[in-house]
Amino acid sequence: MLRLLSFALFLAIWWIAALFVGGAKLPSPPAVLNVIVAEASSGALFLHLGATLARVALSFVLAMSLGSAIGYLMGRVKLADRLGDPWLILLLNLPALVVIVLAYIWAGLTEAAAITAIAINKLPTAIVTLREGTRALDRSLDEMATVFAMPRWRAFRHVVLPQLAPYIAASARSGLSLVWKIVLVAELLGRPNGVGFEIGVAFQLFDTPRLLAYSLTFAAIVLVIETVLVQPFEARATRWRPRAA
């Protein structure tokens, strides 16, 4: 209820602002809705959204799985941490734009280049978060697993993984938002479809309704994924915790 009210407030502010600023710079909500309906009925909206979602999914999975594995290794093995740390600092501070442009120059304007570039941008934050999580693992529970001679896999699944779950969830959440942002840049610069490409076109034509139509639909999808996938996962992973008052 409160969420709906908050959303209505957002619409109201937008509408009032549109009245003041004028339709060319900030179109009113119905104008944007018209564009969304038109693009949806022509099928273009779904094509571009689908392309973007596929890129997000691929690069997100790639970065999360690789980043989690490397982060866990660096948290557990001191040598890996020492060797990997300079690379990590370099990657963390490398601007997304540089990675994307270089990937396109080296690998051509290809799908693989785009997905790799997006994944590389997400990779270091996943590593850092998981490394922190691994460092914070409870040694006393490790000892318990050792004393009771738990096989490695069982100990990992029941002792280690539940401790890492909040870190994985945090990394997934921040990672998803990062990937959403970067994927559009990669599409703008070198892909012939996707939301980023459409926004590039809208920019060239100064077509604000179209720009808003695509970005808002996109934001709505992010919101749905967050509520339907990320939050339930978090709730499940932390269900054993006593509820905060």
Does 66 bind other proteins (CB under 8 A)? Our answer is no
Q: Which is nearer to other proteins, 103 or 169 (CB)?
A: 169
Q: Which of 107, 121, 131, 102 is nearest to 56 (CA)?
A: 121
Q: Does 153 bind other proteins (CB under 8 A)?
A: no
What is the closest distance, in whole angstroms, from the C-beta atom of residue 131 to other proteins in the complex? 21
Separation CA 124–CA 62 (nearest Å): 12
Tell me how far, at minimum, the Cβ of 170 lies from other proteins, in Å. Answer: 17
Q: Is 241 in the site for other proteins (CB under 8 A)?
A: yes
Q: Does 245 bind other proteins (CB under 8 A)?
A: no
The reply to whether 143 sits near other proteins by the rule CB under 8 A is yes
Contact between 149 and other proteins by CB under 8 A: the answer reads yes
Q: Binding to other proteins (CB under 8 A): which residues in 67-96?
A: none
Contact (Cβ atoms closer than 8 angstroms) between residue 212 and residue 32? yes
Helices (H), the chain: 2-21, 29-42, 44-76, 78-93, 96-107, 111-135, 139-147, 152-155, 161-190, 195-204, 208-225, 231-237
Q: Does 144 bind other proteins (CB under 8 A)?
A: yes
Residues contacting 15, CB < 8 A, separation 6+: 28, 29
Kindly tell me which residue out of 148, 153, 192, 245 binds other proteins, with binding defined by CB under 8 A. 148
Task: Please give the residue ranges that form the binding site for other proteins (CB under 8 A).
Answer: 140-141, 143-144, 146-150, 154, 158-159, 162, 240-242
